[in-house]
Amino acid sequence: MDDMDSTLELLLRSRKVEPPRPGMAERIIMAAHATPQRVRVPFGVWLQRLCAEFYMPRPAFAFAMLLLIGFITGLGVPVDMDTDENGISQPASLQDFLYPEEDSAL
Amino acid sequence: MAAGWPDKDDHELLALLRDGSHAAFAELVHRHSDRFYRLAYRYMRQREAAEDIVQDAFLKLWTHPDQWQPGHNTRFTTWFYRVVINLCLDVQKKKSPLPLAEEFEVADDTQAAQDDALIERQEHAALEAAIAALPERQYTALNLCFVNDLSNQEAAEVMGLTLKALQSLIMRAKAALKEQLKPVKGEQRYG
């Protein structure tokens, strides 16, 4: 290594770096506190969490409530409404349904 | 901070960080932020910009801890130097080139005589200009070896090069610098 080489290395090593403002590390740590972490969740863990979302502490009570809600909803639907082949609601006659043969004889 | 954190190595801290440990993150930041700041400063040449780079890099690590993949015989610092360098280069590409600092203080200013100090300042100014003109990879190699005092082997790992390739880069960088500094040195020290 010649003189120029060693002088150059000395110069390179003596290049001044302005020190950071005090508390740089603390600022970074505080910023992390305000930032949520996004960790990639494995599929197994994801599935487990999904199942936990649907966990029912009282399944029998929940099913009974579901039945009740279904029953009440069913009561609200008009009896004389029916849908034709095209799926359009049409007034349906209860008599037509109960006595179809009588109608055709007439 | 919980007792015992300083005794844990980087890999242990990173495992805790994945579980959301703020204390482990804080320990990593305290342990390494200065060294990454020194590197970022060499690229950004401004204190605030360098601090921002270090903060962004650490926050990336915090929000996406999965980006660090252990088990490839890679040290955390080696990988994180790469993260910092990439962030610096990204920012530099987006912005116009930063002006060189006007004042180049000499580290050992108090001992030097006034004339010598002036000469050294000129040398540093010329050196900074010459370094800024180097190709990106040569610039990175010099910074890693002479600013962050990494061994050639470590610097090669950071840059993803073989040892020989890194040595070749440094040799070319030095040759380019010597060439550019010849007139300055010829007038002052070797004149």
ipTM of the complex: 0.77
Strand partners, A83: A89
Residue A14 lies in a domain: no
Q: Residue B161 is which amino acid?
A: L
Nearest chain A alpha carbon to B149 = A13
* Model-wide pTM > 0.90: no
Both structure tokens of A26? 């603390």
> For chain A, what is the domain count?
1
Tell me whether residues A29 and B29 touch, CB distance under 8 A.
yes
Round to whole Å and give the CA distance between B120 and B188. Answer: 10
Per DSSP, the residues of B170-185 read HHHHHHHHHHHHHHHH
Architecture of domain B1-98: Orthogonal Bundle (1.10)
Residue A65 lies in a domain: yes
How many residues appear in chain B?
Answer: 191
Domain extent for A53: 42-72
Residue A79 lies in a domain: no
Over residues B91-139, the pLDDT tens digits come to 988 876 555 554 445 455 555 566 776 776 777 788 888 888 899 999 9
Between positions 132 and 151 of B, the ones with CB within 8 A of A are 142, 146-147, 149
Over residues A23-58, the pLDDT tens digits come to 999 999 999 999 888 877 778 888 888 888 888 888
Round to whole Å and give the CA distance between A28 and A13. Answer: 28
Residue A55 lies in a domain: yes
Residue A82 lies in a domain: no
| CA atoms lying within 13 Å on the CB side of residue B136 | 8
